[in-house]
Structure 1
Amino acid sequence: MIDPKLNEFIVALPKAELHLHIEGTLEPELIFELARRNNIKLNYASEGELRRAYAFKDLQSFLDLYYAGASVLITERDFYDMTMAYLKRAQADGVCHTEIMFDPQTHTERGVAIETVFAGIARAVREMQQQAGLTSYLLMSFLRHLSEESAFETLEAALPLREQYKDIWVGIGLDSAEVGNPPDKFQRVFTRCKELGFRLVAHAGEEGPPQYVRDALDLLHVDRIDHGVRSEEDPDLVKRLIREQIPLTVCPLSNLKLCVVDDMQDHNIARLLRQGLVVTVNSDDPAYFGGYVGDNYRAIATSLKLSKAELAKLADNSLVASFLPGYRKNQLRQQLQAML
């Protein structure tokens, strides 16, 4: 059990969540609700049976279930309900800004229009900003197990929507199965996205080797590395990440659930933080991995014996590493300092 005062401290920290797949926030209860709404038959008899299937041996075993769960998303209302449910949970965890990844290819391949995906997510994001002051940016992500040609097609389909969503759609990401899908597979499409002025992120160094982190930086020219925990295997890479202050969006409970680490006490986020890397705490796919961002802070606070100052540094890193404009980062960092 976590100390109630420590929990109160964690929730009170003004923080950003920078590594969050919105399709990965679909709780079993909402999956079943949307399945009923859309007359979709699931392969599970109940919410409990589905939740018991969340015993993953690796990234691929999770992805298989993740894509099956996303099949219930059909209408704009479905995407709105999913996004709003996440944003309310984030707000309860003390999150003041989110950068949400979403995967259009997961939906367009099923015949769902990309306009529907954008509209539902954006409506929830804008409502939450108006009602609660919780800001969000969108990071449209390409699925790396698909071809670069498919990524280009997705980009071209989305670009006519850019003006409509220019207040929130700021970036491009790369996610899904790392193994067998190196960063250089997407070099041309990322070059195009950079020319268009998007901020860039990519998953690297979760299941893939440290070289994937180097390639994401040197070939894809990303601003941030998603995961990056295997960077520690390459001391020269670690020195570079410190020198260039390249953020890593680390997801501790995800790493545990997908067997990247065997025990939370073995996680390297504290070591990386203490060496001076810009590590941040995030939930990845919280419905599947046993917790939202607050749960991730609590897990590492107790398992790795992090001090309050270190927890505050992680929150500060999340604000620094965000794509917010400088003046807004400064406001939030001042709020954090005032709270401390």
Structure 2
Amino acid sequence: MTAISNHVGTIVKLNPDYTQMDAVYLTNKLLNLIGDAALDLPGDADPLTNLDLMVKAAQENGKIPDSQAARQILEAQLMDLATPTPSRINQLFWDKYQAGPRVATDWFFALSRANNYIQTRAIAKNVVFPAKTEYGDLEITINLSKPEKDPKDIAAAAHAAQSGYPACALCLQTEGYAGRTDFAARTNHRIIRFLLGGKTWGFQYSPYAYFNEHAIFLDAIHEPMVIDQSTFSNLLAIVSMFPTYFVGSNADLPIVGGSMLTHEHYQGGRHTFPMAKAPIETQVEISGHPHVFAGIVKWPMSVIRLVSADSDELINAAEHVRQVWNQYTDETVDVRAFVDGKPH
């Protein structure tokens, strides 16, 4: 089998908008991307290895330059053909959701892996191991999956005209974006739309996952992260919609790091972290919220766990804790609510 015919098979398998009748059409689409000389290029049964062969052929045929960015852009374009359009993806997802949330997420996750949006080969390079501690078995992850920048791309980006589109890597406008030397290729990227708090949000997977089914829930509007009472309402609404997933939010403070503060978003997935397994060390009461169980978790950092069957009371209790903590200062242990007038 040739690389072209193998990839046509992958396209027909993954994208219901195509059938074997489209083989000639798809062959010509692929040749346009990688060059006519690749028509009889020997293929590989593994779709991703086959993808590598086509990208290499495109470079040899002069269709793309020898740079990491160019290769990644072409990879995404080749896999875009195997990916249904955004409207079709959303239709299929919500049709499957009727059979159960997990049916829908299993399908979307499998597709996001198969079309190489989730970088499975890169993620496999990560080092993950447990560490036994007095707080339980912690999970240590060394992230080796994100590729280093190609010096050629760095040089090209320095001379390229600056673009403000898309505004950031979490914007809906990344869906289908070709990419450039300073912005990741997203041609094969798809986002599920849903309503959250009366607003349109998106659900996607992280291309470089830290844990199983690492999902990102993002505001359709590019606006800064803000933690307030609506955050807790949104988080509970998401886990109600996707009950096999956890969901959480990073802090909205630059000092914490590790998050994209310019775009409102949450992260979740099908994973149970050690902190969720840790026991309650000390039970506490939250004034005015008698139906909320609260306790200090046995953990190396300050963690309060709230539990209640009443979601509204749980939201109100969480907001109470947030407001108190935002103003809390204890200089004896170097806890400061503000530094130089800025939240800390």
TM-score of the pair, normalised by structure 2 = 0.23
Which one has more relative contact order, counting CA pairs under 8 Å at least 6 apart? 1
TM-score of the pair, normalised by structure 1 = 0.23
Higher share in helix:
1
